[in-house]
């Protein structure tokens, strides 16, 4: 896929050898806690489970992993919904359409599996303003909020997008 970087961005499935690069992306997330441990455990479980109903993708420029995103049924699975998670683009490659390419792959996966909705937790809308606006531009809307879920004034904001076939 061509983009403004004038180089090919390859979107492909996440494999075990991608783990160090993907965890380096997770480490770029500004958080008071170390998210790499929980992310690493989750990603390792997904790779080890042959019946995992979701998928994880990476964006790469040559051998360099520049982004990642996954999807899965979530904590309360529904045959109609997939939950998107861990959308991360390396800080040097933001604003080049990488996140949109990853979302396109997740949506394609969801549609192939006959899902009607794609959901996610956007986190703190004030601190994650760019992510919030990105999701609004891409058809998501806030459908619920659990106040103080992650901590004081750290609300769990649930966003959802109705998926329509692109045929």
User: For residue 150, is it within any domain?
Assistant: no
pLDDT bin (cut points 50, 70, 90) of residue 165 is low
Q: What confidence score (pLDDT) does residue 75 get?
A: 83
Its domain, for residue 56, covers: 10-120
pLDDT given at position 7 = 67
Contact 94, 40 (CB under 8 A): no
pLDDT of residue 167: 53
The answer to whether residue 165 is domain-embedded is no
State if pTM tops 0.85: yes
In a domain, 53, yes or no: yes
Instruction: Assess if residue 80 is contained within a domain.
Output: yes
pLDDT at 160 over 90: yes
Q: Which residues, 6 or more positions from 126, have their beta carbon under 8 angstroms from its beta carbon? A: none
CATH number of the domain to which 44 belongs? 3.40.630.30
CA distance 126 to 43: 28
Q: Is residue 139 part of a domain?
A: no
- Residue 51: pLDDT over 50: yes
Region of residue 73 (phi > 0: left; psi between -120 and 50: alpha; otherwise: beta): alpha
In a domain, 129, yes or no: no
Q: Taking residues 48-68, what's their average pLDDT?
A: 95
Mean pLDDT of 66-73: 97
Q: Is residue 44 part of a domain?
A: yes
Instruction: Tell which wins on pLDDT, 75 or 25.
Output: 25
Cβ–Cβ under 8 Å, residues 9 and 101: yes
Q: How many domains does the chain have?
A: 1
């Amino acid at each position: 896929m061509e983009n403004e970087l004038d180089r090919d961005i390859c979107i492909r499935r996440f494999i075990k050898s991608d783990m160090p690069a993907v965890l380096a992306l997770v480490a770029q997330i500004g958080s008071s806690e170390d998210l790499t441990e929980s992310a690493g455990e989750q990603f390792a479980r997904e790779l080890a489970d042959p019946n995992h109903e979701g998928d994880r993708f990476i964006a790469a420029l040559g051998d360099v992993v520049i982004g990642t995103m996954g999807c899965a049924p979530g904590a309360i699975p529904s045959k109609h919904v997939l939950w998107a998670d861990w959308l991360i683009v390396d800080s040097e490659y933001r604003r080049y359409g990488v996140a949109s390419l990853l979302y396109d792959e997740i949506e394609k996966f969801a549609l192939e599996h006959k899902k009607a909705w794609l959901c996610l937790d956007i986190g703190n809308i004030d601190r994650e303003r760019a992510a919030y606006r990105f999701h609004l531009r891409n058809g998501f809307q806030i459908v619920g909020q659990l106040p103080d879920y992650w901590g004081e004034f750290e609300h769990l904001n649930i966003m959802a997008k109705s998926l329509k076939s692109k045929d």
